[in-house]
Amino acid sequence: MIDCTNKMAFEANSPPSQENLMSLLRTMRVNKSLISLLLAVPMISVGCGGSISDAGSGGSDTGGANGFNVVSVSVSQAQIWQINRAIDITFTRALDFSTVGLNTISIATPSGLSATGTFSQLDAVTVRFQPSCPTLADNSDAGLLPGGRTYTLHVLDTTVNGVTVQDTNGFGVTQGLVVTFQTPDSTDPQALFLDTVPGPPDVRVRLRGGVAVDDLDATYLERGDGSREYFYQQLTTQQGELIPPGGSQYFPLLNKYSDVDSQWSLVVFFNQPIISSPENISSNLIALEYEQQDGVGDFAGFGTQVELIANCTSTGAALRVTPLGVVPQGKRMRLNIRQGFSDLTGDGLPSDNVGAARMVTAISSNDFDKEFDELTEDFDHPAGVADSRQDGTTPLGQPSASWGEGVLRASFDFGGTGGPGGDFDWVVGFSGPETVILDTVTSQILGGPGGIPVTTQTVINGVVDIHDFRINPGSRVIVLGPNPLTILASGEVVINGELSVNGSDNPGVGTLNTTNFPELGATGNGGGGRGGTGSFLTSQSTPKGGDGFGAFGVANRGGIGGETTYNTGGTNNRRASGGGGPSFGSTVFYDHDGTPVSNSPDTPMLRAQILIGMDPEPGRGGSPNGKGAISQAVRAQGGAIGEDPFVDEDEGNNFFGQMITAEGSLVVGELSKTYAGGGGGAGGDAVSSNSFPLQPFQITGDEKGSGGGGGGGGLRILALEDITIGEGGSVFANGGEGGGGENTNFFDRVGGGSGGGAGGHIIFSTAGKVNILGLAEGSQQWYRDSGLTTGTGWPNFSSSRALSAVGGQGGAGAADHGGSGANGGTAWRCDCIPRSFVDNVPIGCPNGLEDAPPYRCIGCFSISTQGFNDPMGPVLGAGGDGGPGIIQLHVATPAEDINLPAVLADGQTGQVYGEMALVGASLVNPLDPTQVIAPPPLGWLDPVQVEERVIELQTNQPGIDLEGVPMSNNLVPFFGPKSAARSLWIPLGLARINPANVPASFTPIMGVQVTGDANDIGKVLHGPVGDTVLELPPVIAASPLDPLGLVAPFITPDGGTLVFDASGMPDTYRVTPSMARRFAIVLGDAAVTPTLSLDFEAISVVYDAVNDQLRCTAGAGVDLTLFQATTVFASLRPHHFRVETQGIWDNFSADASIRFGFDATTTDVAGNPSASGAFTVTSTDLARDITDMNDGSIWDFFRFEVEFDLGDPLNTPLPALLFMKIPFEFGAD
For residues 132 and 52, state if they share a domain: yes
Nearest to 716 by CA among 771, 650, 672, 762: 762
pLDDT on residue 797: 58
pLDDT on residue 368: 74
pLDDT on residue 603: 58
pLDDT tens sequence across 370-406? 889 999 999 999 998 988 999 988 888 889 999 999 9
End-to-end CA gap in the chain: 72
Assess whether pLDDT exceeds 90 at residue 800. Answer: no
Assess whether pLDDT exceeds 90 at residue 28. Answer: no
For residues 153 and 163, state if they share a domain: yes
Residue type, position 462, single letter: G
End position of a domain, from candidates 190, 207, 233: 190
Is 734 within the bounds of a domain?
no
Assess whether pLDDT exceeds 80 at residue 546. Answer: yes
For residues 258 and 349, state if they share a domain: yes
Is 619 within the bounds of a domain?
no
For residues 109 and 59, state if they share a domain: yes
Residue 236 · residue 280 · CB < 8 Å: no
Q: Percent of the chain scored above 90 by pLDDT?
A: 67
Residue 707 · residue 506 · CB < 8 Å: yes
Residue 286 · residue 337 · CB < 8 Å: yes
pLDDT on residue 774: 84
pLDDT tens sequence across 474-483? 999 999 999 9
pLDDT tens sequence across 86-107? 999 999 999 999 999 999 999 9
For residues 124 and 42, state if they share a domain: yes
Q: Which domain holds residue 920?
A: 908-971
For residues 933 and 1006, state if they share a domain: no
End position of a domain, from candidates 140, 174, 190: 190
Is 772 within the bounds of a domain?
no
In which band, very low, low, confident or very high, does the pLDDT at 847 lie, cut at 50, 70 and 90? Answer: very low
pLDDT tens sequence across 974-1018? 999 999 999 999 999 887 776 655 667 888 777 888 877 888 899
Is 1127 within the bounds of a domain?
yes
For residues 81 and 227, state if they share a domain: no
pLDDT on residue 677: 98
For residues 953 and 981, state if they share a domain: no
Residue 231 · residue 222 · CB < 8 Å: no
Query: How many CB atoms are located within 10 Å of the residue 441 CB?
Result: 12
Burial of 21 (0-12, 13-18, 19+ CB in 10 A): middle
Residue 506 · residue 486 · CB < 8 Å: no
Lowest mean pLDDT among 495-509, 717-731, 791-805, 881-895: 791-805
Tally of helices (H runs) and strands (E runs) in the chain: 7, 70
Residue 586 · residue 653 · CB < 8 Å: no
pLDDT tens sequence across 111-151? 999 999 999 999 999 999 999 988 787 889 999 999 999 99
> How far from 514 is each of 485, 572, 700, 1171, CA to CA, in Å?
37, 20, 6, 71
pLDDT on residue 44: 30
For residues 448 and 394, state if they share a domain: no
For residues 333 and 264, state if they share a domain: yes
Task: Determine the Cα–Cα distance for residues 881 and 811; give it in Å rounded to an integer.
Answer: 8
pLDDT tens sequence across 219-270? 999 999 999 999 999 999 999 999 999 999 999 999 999 999 999 999 999 9
End position of a domain, from candidates 1115, 1134, 1153: 1134
Most confident of 339-348, 358-367, 820-829, 944-953: 339-348
For residues 1049 and 1014, state if they share a domain: no
Residue type, position 979, single letter: S
pLDDT on residue 29: 35
Task: Determine the Cα–Cα distance for residues 1092 and 1088; give it in Å rounded to an integer.
Answer: 11
Assess whether pLDDT exceeds 50 at residue 793. Answer: no
The total of structural domains in the chain comes to 6
Is 847 within the bounds of a domain?
no
pLDDT tens sequence across 862-911? 444 555 566 676 789 999 999 999 999 999 999 999 999 865 545 556 78
Mean pLDDT of the chain: 87
What CATH number corresponds to the domain at position 67? 2.60.40.3710
Lowest mean pLDDT among 367-381, 795-809, 1184-1198: 795-809
DSSP-derived pairing of the beta strands 666-668 and 978-982? unpaired
DSSP character string of 182-228: E--S---HHHHS--SSSSS--B--BTSTT--TT-SSS-EEEETTS-E
pLDDT on residue 786: 56
In which band, very low, low, confident or very high, does the pLDDT at 322 lie, cut at 50, 70 and 90? Answer: very high
Residue 705 · residue 639 · CB < 8 Å: no
pLDDT on residue 1177: 85
Is 178 within the bounds of a domain?
yes
Is 947 within the bounds of a domain?
yes
Is 512 within the bounds of a domain?
no
In which band, very low, low, confident or very high, does the pLDDT at 775 lie, cut at 50, 70 and 90? Answer: confident
Assess whether pLDDT exceeds 90 at residue 556. Answer: yes
For residues 1019 and 1040, state if they share a domain: no
Task: Determine the Cα–Cα distance for residues 202 and 714; give it in Å rounded to an integer.
Answer: 59
Nearest to 1086 by CA among 1120, 1031, 1035, 1128: 1128
Assess whether pLDDT exceeds 60 at residue 1045. Answer: yes
Residue 756 · residue 809 · CB < 8 Å: yes
Query: How many CB atoms are located within 10 Å of the residue 110 CB?
Result: 12
Q: Nearest-5° angle of CA 804, CA 808, CA 811?
A: 160
